[in-house]
Amino acid sequence: MRRPRRRPFHDRNGRAPLYRHALAINLAGLGQGECCDCGPARSFVAGNLVGTLAPAITSAAAVGFPLGVPSTFLVTTTAAPTPAIAVALAVALPPGVAFVDNGDGTGSFSGVPTAAGAYALTITASNGTTPDAVQAFTISL
């Protein structure tokens, strides 16, 4: 059986090496490889194996709150890294209702609404990976 030809692995001043080398990398981001002229196997940490994922808003596009009753609606998203959530208003939020970005990929509309009507707004989730997720949203009272 013929052995594979070995070639040294050289860093070319931060550029890609001249030869390809097989490296085993597990999902935890740790890897191990061996080059023929530089001694035993060496371990290293590989960066960003998970990658990034553009945000998506996964909650409903509308909610109904009863007047005068404490109410909450949770806006949910998926993405990597976790997105920030913002609300752009066509008009003001219903009186007595506020929005908070919970900092974990969710946001909450909550409060005790005091004025009837339909309130249109736009929810945007962003994490630096394009495109941002945009959802038209309505709060009905």
Tens place of pLDDT per residue across the chain (141 aa): 555 555 555 555 655 554 444 555 444 444 445 455 555 555 555 554 456 889 999 999 999 999 999 999 999 999 989 999 999 987 789 999 999 999 999 999 999 999 999 999 999 999 999 999 999 999 999
Supply the range of the domain harboring residue 5: 1-49
Compute the distance between CA of residue 121 and CA of residue 123 in angstroms, rounded to an integer: 7
Q: Is the pTM of this model over 0.75?
A: no
- Check which CATH number belongs to the domain holding 72 and give it: 2.60.40.10
Decide if 101 contacts 107 (C-beta within 8 A). yes
Say if residue 41 is in the same domain as residue 59.
Answer: no
Say if residue 113 is in the same domain as residue 134.
Answer: yes
Say if residue 65 is in the same domain as residue 98.
Answer: yes
Say if residue 44 is in the same domain as residue 57.
Answer: no
DSSP string, the chain: -PPPPP-----BTTBPPSS----EE-TTSEEEE--TTS-S-EEEE-S-SS--EEEEE-S-SEEE--TTS-EEEEEEEEEESPPEEEEEESSPPPTTEEEEE-SSSEEEEEE---S-SEEEEEEEEESSSSSPEEEEEEEE-
